[in-house]
């Protein structure tokens, strides 16, 4: 859905209310400008969504489960693999999907039981997004 073209309300639009409407329009226009900016690709996971972006380094010696604290409010509802980069020797293109088998274990803790699709002999930088309630 495309946003309507209306960007700003002016006193001239309200001839019969000129004496008082200006005091209302200033904060209303500021609010509309903020909302318009947010809805035009201004929303971010880190500032607007109950989420956490986390980076995890995986090495040849990484053992599962991986347990870490999360900062999301409430019980986490999802964990997405956003990116995976091989950081060892000569990086190769991944040929399989990377997936995290995880669960919420309470007390703001997440347990990653396994990560599929990676070569256990290589080193990776994994970026995930955790989504809260």
Domains of the chain plus CATH, in order, are 7-43 (no CATH), 45-131 (2.60.40)
Alpha carbon distance 112, 128 (integer Å) = 11
Q: Model confidence over 36-69: pLDDT tens digits? A: 888 888 888 888 999 999 999 999 889 999 999 9
Coil, strand or helix at 73: coil
Q: Which residues of 88-119 are buried (b: 16+ CB within 10 A; e: fewer)?
A: eeeeeeeeeeeebebebeeeeebebeebeebe
CA–chain centroid gap for 32, Å, is: 23
Is this structure's pTM higher than 0.85? no
Alpha carbon distance 25, 46 (integer Å) = 31
Q: Model confidence over 5-15: pLDDT tens digits? A: 777 888 988 88
Alpha carbon distance 36, 22 (integer Å) = 21
């Amino acid at each position: 859905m495309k946003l309507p073209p209306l960007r700003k309300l002016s006193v001239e639009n309200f001839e019969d209310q000129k004496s008082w409407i200006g005091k209302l329009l200033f904060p209303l226009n500021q609010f509309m400008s903020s909302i318009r900016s947010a809805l035009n690709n201004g929303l971010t996971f880190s500032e607007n969504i109950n989420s956490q972006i986390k980076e995890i380094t995986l090495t040849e010696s990484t053992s599962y489960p991986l347990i870490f604290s999360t900062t999301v409010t409430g019980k986490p509802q999802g964990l997405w693999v956003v990116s995976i980069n091989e950081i060892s020797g000569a990086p190769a293109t991944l040929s399989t999907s990377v997936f995290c088998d995880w669960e919420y274990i309470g007390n703001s803790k997440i347990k990653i039981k396994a990560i599929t699709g990676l070569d256990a002999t290589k080193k990776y930088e994994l970026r995930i997004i955790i989504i809260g309630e």
